[in-house]
Structure 1
Amino acid sequence: MPELLRIESLSAGYGEAVVLHDVSLALGEGQTLALLGRNGTGKTTLMNTIAGATRQHAGTITLGGVALHKLAPHQRAAAGIGWVPQERNIFRSLTVHENLTAVARAGKWTPDGVYAMFPRLAERKTNLGTQLSGGEQQMLAVGRALVVNPKLLLLDEPLEGLAPIIVEELLAAIRRITREEGLSAIIVEQHPQAVLAISDEAVVLDRGTVVHASSAQALSAQPEVLERLLGVSR
């Protein structure tokens, strides 16, 4: 399949502090990548760097032939990056519907499409962001990234701190977005079994470097590697 994202020899961080060291990876169109690692290994920094929110010291990031590393964050969004950061960053003083329509771009994903996938949001379309539960805010953050109609969706710990029933609902939505709708995605998650089950490829970071890269299926089938690299059992 055609290549969508290529990262080569990437070093980045915050100010003079370098967090990522010589990171390289690639992702094909329509593929999902599980980005794994213990806390503090650079996963969020890599997501932030793709989105343009860190200082890049070396290397290149290319999305569909476009040199992202030369672009400002808003230009990266226009080039096809849909970003759901850990902080969600919804507009809390706007309604659900205003959150979606404020950033929507022409394409396959519309506010109505988001409401169809997340009926809870349809029921709360006139509610302010401050009136939503944590799970509803996360659904809105995902929906807002979708209506930008990106080529690549970045999901940074989308299941963190959510009730089990909401986790299942979001996982089903992410599976639909990636598997049925064919949108490429990179997912950072602390529960590797959940994200590996809906991913094609897997990369593990440690101390800001890639220490493992394989298919998601291969990593899921190696409990000893999961234990060694992530401290979890199968």
Structure 2
Amino acid sequence: MNELLRIEDLSAGYGEAVVLTGVSLALGEGRTLALLGRNGTGKTTLINTLAGATRQHGGRITLGDVELNRLAPHRRAAAGIGWVPQERNIFKSLTVHENLTAVARAGHWTPERAYAMFPRLAERKGNLGTQLSGGEQQMLAVARALVLNPRLLLLDEPLEGLAPIIVEELLRAIRRITRDEGLAAIIVEQHPQAVLAISDDAVVLDHGRLVHADSAQALRAQPEVLERLLGVAR
């Protein structure tokens, strides 16, 4: 398995405030990592740091043979980072199709392929972002990241606040994107069993430090560990 992402002794936060301390992990090509932890433990900060939206105080991040440490967010996107933040960050004053074509880069993922993955978006090509439901906005945010043709997809709580039927639809799409299409991903999610079911590996953060790492299958089968680390059971 070829290594795609390596994080070494990472410390990062916002301004002078350090949230992450000494975080080290690696992710292989085509692997999906579940990033777990209680609220406020640094999960979003880690995702934001990979995307270039925090202050890195120390350590090293490499994506393939590219060192990301000093790169601006747009250069990280060009290097292969596709980021779906909690806020989604779609262009609400543009149509669905304009949202996709405005950011698309040449490659495997075209707007047409994104529409095939998310048929709801194909039905709403001409709708403005403000005219979409929360679930449709989330689908559009994922589609926007895909048409950048990234090497690594970052998803920060993609299921938050969505109706159960939309949650199932998005989980199926994410599984296809990662399993069938082979795109590596890091997924932050408050529903551990849901994300562990579609992941290869799992890590748990606590107070800004990595405190547990295992295969997703092994962690999913240990409700006592989930209870101890996350406060949730099977």
TM range (shorter): over 0.9
CA distance in 1, matches of 2:29, 2:220: 22
Encode CA deviations 1:56-88: one digit per residue, 9 max, x unaligned.
Answer: 000000000110112111100000000000000
Q: 1:69 is matched with which residue?
A: 69
Task: Give 1:55 deviation, angstroms.
Answer: 0.3
CA distance in 2, matches of 1:232, 1:161: 18
Q: Which stretches of structure 1, 4 residues or longer, exceed 2 Å deviation after superposition?
A: none
* Percent of matched pairs sharing the same residue: 86
Q: 2:172 is matched with which residue?
A: 172
Q: 2:216 is matched with which residue?
A: 216
CA distance in 2, matches of 1:32, 1:65: 20
3-state secondary structure, aligned to 2:211? strand
Aligned counterparts, 1:138-177, within 5 A: 138-177=138-177
Encode CA deviations 1:127-167: one digit per residue, 9 max, x unaligned.
Answer: 00000000000000000000000000000000000000000
CA distance in 2, matches of 1:79, 1:186: 16
Task: Give 1:187 deviation, angstroms.
Answer: 0.1
Unmatched segments (≥5 aa) in structure 2: none
Encode CA deviations 1:210-234: one digit per residue, 9 max, x unaligned.
Answer: 0000111111111110000001111
CA distance in 2, matches of 1:100, 1:4: 26
How many aligned positions are there?
A: 234
Q: 2:9 is matched with which residue?
A: 9
Q: 2:120 is matched with which residue?
A: 120
- TM-score, normalization by structure 2: 0.99
CA distance in 2, matches of 1:4, 1:118: 27
CA distance in 2, matches of 1:164, 1:224: 26
Q: 1:225 is matched with which residue?
A: 225
Q: 1:201 is matched with which residue?
A: 201
Q: 2:191 is matched with which residue?
A: 191
CA distance in 2, matches of 1:37, 1:62: 23
3-state secondary structure, aligned to 2:91? coil
CA distance in 2, matches of 1:217, 1:115: 31
Unmatched segments (≥5 aa) in structure 1: none
Q: 1:137 is matched with which residue?
A: 137
Encode CA deviations 1:181-230: one digit per residue, 9 max, x unaligned.
Answer: 00000000000000001101000000000000011111111111000000
CA distance in 1, matches of 2:107, 2:208: 35
Query: Is 2:43 the counterpart of 1:24?
Result: no
After superposition, the CA RMSD in angstroms is 0.4
Equivalent AA in structure 2 for residue 199 of structure 1: S
Q: 2:89 is matched with which residue?
A: 89
CA distance in 2, matches of 1:54, 1:154: 15
